[in-house]
Chain A
Amino acid sequence: MGNFDDFKTRLKIAKSNLKKTDNESSKEASFLGNAFKLGTELVAAVAVGTIIGFILDSWLGTTPWLIVIFFFVGAAAGMLNVIRTAKRMQK
């Protein structure tokens, strides 16, 4: 019986070790993946904001104003995206 308990603890230790190395290797992959994510995250929001501004402008006939406003709102949204991604990276 004592032998069996010994095996159990050994199995537990081996399993926890396995988990540790698993986490480390997947962290490295997600690190590289995150590096690819950040850039487009910023640009995409600016582009979407500008496009929304352009559509609203041609719809409401307020031509340069909304596109200017939405460009900056889009830039803010892009920064929000980057901050969120960066926060997720730190977890």
Chain B
Amino acid sequence: MATNPMHQFNVYRIGPEVKIAGIDISFTNSSLFMLLSAGAICIFLLLGTREKKLIPGKIQLVAEMFYNFIAKMISDTAGSKAKPYFPFIFSLFMFVLFCNMVGMFPYSFTVTSHIIVTLIMAMFIFVAVTIIGFIKHGFKYLKIFVPSGVPVLLLPLITVIEIISYLSRPVSLSVRLFANMMAGHTMLKVFGGFVISLGLLGGWLPLSFSVALTGLEILVAFLQAYVFAILTCIYLNDALNLHH
């Protein structure tokens, strides 16, 4: 039913069913919107860097703003050592941002409102950061679980707490993005449903709420992408500059 606020999160197949070794890898609406977001990023950045004027045009200005924003964020939170990871963090930020923003269009699908998508991204970051930490510091990286200046008696307990705190990173990273997007979009559809059911007489109040919520959702879409990227920087900082 179109009035069901959760209907928008349905994943369905587009085209034929493809199965390899029992795993369903068919093309779905989720894949379609991922491709759309990635394509939009490519078109936007290609247009932005096409002319390379000294005095930038509109698109070039926005593209440069994104570049500066991420470059500054990385140097602020993770220092100059994190410069080689700029392409990764920039792509991550742009992908999350565009998925969130494409999801704001009516009748579209929000890729990041599914926990599996955000969890895969968070797990990738978590595993990559751990590997980077071990490559840079060897077994000394395990020191982040053993804070200095703790009495020997408390050390086992503190170490367990630190390990749980470390393991909770991908969970909090993925749940935050997924929960914010899903809750926001559900709320938008619920208020949209109120407009229809209250009709011409009482529908104006939920309609005005809907307009306000749309603005809020655009803010949340940007902020969640920002938080996702900045937390990646913070985790990278912990792996690159050991100082616990």
A77 touches B76 (CB 8 A): no
* Complexed CA–CA distance, A80 and B164 (Å): 10
Q: Which residue of B lies closest to A33 (CB)?
A: B227
Number of A-B contacts (CB under 8 A): 70
Chain A residues near B76 (CB-CB < 8 A): 26
CA distance A44 to B223 in the complex (A): 19
With most chain A CB atoms within 10 A of its CB, the pick from B76, B157, B161, B234 is: B161
| Contact string against B for A residues 51-78, beta-carbon threshold 8 Å, 1 for contact and 0 otherwise | 0100000000000000000100110111
Hey, which chain B residues are within 8 Å of A44, CB to CB? Answer: 168-169, 171-172, 175
Contact-residue bracket for chain A = 20 to 34
Q: Cα distance A77–B166 when bound, in Å?
A: 9
Give me the interface of B with A, judged by CB distance under 8 Å. Answer: 72-73, 76, 157, 160-162, 164-165, 167-169, 171-172, 175-176, 179-180, 223-224, 226-227, 230-231, 234
* Pair A48/B171 contact, Cβ less than 8 Å: yes
Which residues between 15 and 39 of chain A lie within 8 Å of chain B, taking CB atoms?
22, 26, 29-30, 32-33, 36-37
A25–B224 alpha-carbon span in the complex (Å): 17
Known: A44-B168, A47-B171, A48-B171. A36 touches B157 (CB 8 A): no
Q: Known pairs A32-B223, A41-B172, A81-B172; list 19 more (Cβ under 8 Å).
A: A26-B72, A30-B230, A36-B223, A36-B224, A37-B227, A37-B231, A40-B179, A43-B172, A43-B175, A44-B168, A44-B172, A48-B167, A73-B157, A73-B164, A74-B168, A77-B161, A77-B164, A77-B165, A78-B168
Is A10 located at the chain interface by the 8 A CB criterion?
Answer: no
Kindly report which residue of chain A lies nearest to residue B228, judged by CB atoms: A33
Asked if B161 contacts A76 (CB within 8 A), the reply is yes
Residues from chain B with a CB closer than 8 A to the CB of A88 are: 234
Q: How far is the CA of A53 from the CA of B171 in the complex (A)?
A: 16
Asked whether, in the complex, the Cβ of A80 is within 8 Å of the Cβ of B165, the reply is: yes
- In whole angstroms, how far apart are the Cα atoms of A80 and B169 in the complex? 12
Please tell me if the beta carbons of A33 and B161 are within 8 angstroms of each other in the complex: no
Contacts of A43 in B (CB 8 A): 172, 175
Contacts of B234 in A (CB 8 A): 88
Give Cα A48–Cα B168 distance, bound, in whole angstroms. Answer: 6
Q: How far is the CB of B59 from chain A (nearest CB, A)?
A: 22
Q: Which of B162, B165, B175 neighbours the largest number of chain A CB atoms within 10 Å of its CB?
A: B165
A26, A40, A80, A88 interface centre (most CB from chain B within 10 Å): A40
Contact B172 A80 (CB under 8 A): no
For the complex, give the distance between the alpha carbons of A7 and B165 in Å: 52
CB distance B164 to A45 under 8 Å? yes
Kindly provide the distance from the CB of B79 to the nearest chain A CB, expressed in whole angstroms. Answer: 13
Check if B164 sits within 8 Å of A40, measured CB to CB: no
Query: Which residues of chain A are near B223, meaning CB under 8 Å?
Result: 29, 32-33, 36
